[in-house]
Amino acid sequence: MTQAYDFDAPIERRGTRSIKWSLDEKTGVWHDPPAPLGQAPHEAELLPMWLADMDLAAAPPILEALRNRIDHGVFGYTGLDDEFYDSINDWAQRRHGWSIDHDWVTTNTGVMPAINLLIQTFTESDDGVLVQSPVFHPISQAIEYNGRTLLDNALVYDGTRYNMDLDDLATKASLASTKMMVLCSPHNPVGRVWQPQELRAVADICAANDILLISDEIHGDLTYAWSNFVSIGSLIEHHDRLVVCTSPSKAFNLPGLKLSLTIIPDARIRDAYLLTLRNQNEIFGANLLGTTALTAAYQHGEPWLEALIDHLAGNVKYVHEFLVSRLPHLRLVRPDALYLLWIDCRGLKKSDAELDAQLRKAGVWLERGSTYGAAGEGFLRMTVATPRKMVEVAMERMARGLAT
């Protein structure tokens, strides 16, 4: 039995420079009072359920470790010691079935900065980079903004679940210009946890075509009891062309501490990447508070994480049952992982712009599916990493806004 934690206590986030709560993404204008309003978040005029950002306090062991570090009072240049590396390896072995050598680990400010640097290091202008749409849009943007060619191995939706099109992947991987693939595992936004045979098939195709495989595994720790996440890093035979990007930031609600891990087993690939970091002056020390939080999370945060996943599963169940009873034209794509729900709204026969306008008028803000590519048109992405009351209010507002 998991230890009791209160994930339903409301936390006021306005007045804290929260992008989710206080930044108008259309105008870039902040709507943030100088101090919290003292009003429960679920009473806000527009309820933001769009960003992959928890409205929950971090795990107590993390908060304690950060308080101790702050009380020390010195925030100088900080290195990485055996305790830091051991905590990563112990976590990976226990949770994801693979062993990580200290030398393989490099740190970054985030998974997306790391993916950008990997694209810049290992591909050239117009080289092809594979993704599987609908996919987290900063990945697609990283490819296009760096002047590379986006190759879409679109996922296949059967009305219930998304699957890979491995034949199409093999065809596009065989192109002479294809140099890299960015795999989203678990997949954001559709919530699929890829099975070991699927991961092996992808890795085999990339190996056969000398393609560098980058696996974004930032959501791997947020896998539900009905599924089983396996890191592609466990495929030891593919370590000569594999990079795993991950972070405790999603599972432990630490994105503001700006720390991620880029795990590179192959020395040749790692040395080339370290040269890129060196040339950007990014190899001298690491984020003090971020590394403190990571170590505490991986050493002592597991009971809290298990309780969190139970809470999230309850929110997922609530949304599913609400849709069945109150919004039968909508269908939840049942997630294997993530606190992000992918909702099929195509039965309403409305454009993304119409869906967005109706929902905002009703007082709830979800992410448009088309943000993740054309294959996402007619879908919505919703975060449920909140107290249950916020999910309840959001669903009532959705029902009001999408009533037909």
Dig out the tokens for 181 from the structure: 């693939």
Dig out the tokens for 35 from the structure: 């101090």
Predicted confidence at residue 392, as pLDDT, reads: 96
Predicted confidence at residue 1, as pLDDT, reads: 40
* Close Cβ partners of 164 (under 8 Å, ≥ 6 residues apart): 132, 153, 155, 156, 194, 198, 201, 202
* 259 Rama sector, left if φ>0, alpha if ψ -120 to 50, beta otherwise: beta
Cβ pair 299, 87 in contact under 8 A: yes
Tell me which amino acid residue 319 is: V
CA-based nearest residue to 117, from 108, 105, 129, 128: 108
The helix (run of H) or strand (run of E) holding residue 200 is helix 196-208
Dig out the tokens for 334 from the structure: 């049942």
Residue 22 CA to residue 34 CA, distance in Å, equals: 12
Chain-centroid distance, C-alpha 67: 26
CATH fold of 77-299, please? Answer: Aspartate Aminotransferase; domain 2 (3.40.640)
DSSP string, 119-185: HHHH--TT-EEEE-SS--HHHHHHHHHTTPEEEE---EE-SS-EE--HHHHHHHHTSTTEEEEEEES
Q: Report how far apart the first and last C-alpha atoms of the chain are (Å, whole number).
A: 43
Q: Along the chain (404 residues), what's the average pLDDT of each consecutive run of 10 residues?
A: 79 86 74 56 77 96 98 95 97 94 96 98 97 98 98 96 98 98 98 98 98 98 97 95 98 97 98 94 88 98 98 98 97 98 96 95 95 95 97 96 83
**DSSP code of residue 30:** B
CA-based nearest residue to 121, from 133, 132, 106, 135: 106
Cβ pair 252, 279 in contact under 8 A: no
**DSSP code of residue 12:** -
The whole-model pTM stands at 0.94
Cβ pair 292, 69 in contact under 8 A: yes
Residue 388 CA to residue 316 CA, distance in Å, equals: 10
Within 210-287, residue ranges assigned H as helices are 267-279
In the block, tokens 């795993």 appear at 244
Dig out the tokens for 15 from the structure: 């007045």
Q: Which top CATH class is 19-60+302-401?
A: alpha beta
SS3 for 318-347 is HHHHHHHHHCCCCEEECCCECCEEEEECHH
Cβ pair 297, 62 in contact under 8 A: yes
CA-based nearest residue to 155, from 163, 166, 146, 144: 163
Predicted confidence at residue 278, as pLDDT, reads: 93
The helix (run of H) or strand (run of E) holding residue 380 is strand 379-383
Can you give the residue ranges of every domain in the chain? 19-60+302-401, 77-299
Predicted confidence at residue 283, as pLDDT, reads: 78
CA-based nearest residue to 333, from 147, 192, 171: 192
Q: What angle do CA 47, 136, 393 make, to 5 degrees?
A: 20
